[in-house]
Amino acid sequence: MLTLEHAQKIVAAALAASREKGLKPMGIVVLDARGALRAAAVEDGASLERWRVAYGKARGAISLGVSSRMIEKMAQDRPYFIGALGSVLTEGIVPVPGGVLIRDPAGAVIGAAGASGDTSDNDEAALLTALGAAGLAS
């Protein structure tokens, strides 16, 4: 189970990793296995809807059971499939890196996290660093 404490650690660690790497202001969102919001933060200076982009990355990951990096590949390989998801997943998804599954030490999916603010690769890297700091994996 993804606890509030875990979710808050992920947010704090992702923001710390972003600052350490000198990334642009970030939005971080953590969802549990049901897709319910557990924790979120948006840094000063981030654009108004930055959190929604982070949410879309995390939402896509938890909805499809793969990272948003894999969803990007699906979008390239099967654009009609990803395009059609808008009629099924009404809150939408963002099919670029920066959304990762969260796994417990046994490997079970317990949630997803999304980050947005810098390049997609940097967004994802901040999350992976954060998961490690929280004792979790992707």
Q: What is the mean pLDDT of the chain?
A: 95
72-108: per-residue pLDDT in tens?
999 999 999 998 988 888 888 999 999 999 999 999 9
Cα-based distances in Å from 19 to 13, 30, 107, 121: 10, 19, 29, 15
Task: Estimate to the nearest angstrom the gap between the alpha carbon of 134 and the chain centroid.
Answer: 15
User: Global pTM?
Assistant: 0.95
Q: What are residue 137's phi and psi, to 5 degrees?
A: -135, 170
Find the mean pLDDT for residues 55-72: 97
Question: If you ran DSSP here, which 8-state letter would residue 30 be given?
Answer: E
pLDDT at 89: 85
Report pLDDT digits (tens) over 13-34.
999 999 999 999 999 999 999 9
Please state which CATH number belongs to domain 4-133. 3.30.450.150
* Domain boundaries defined on the chain: 4-133
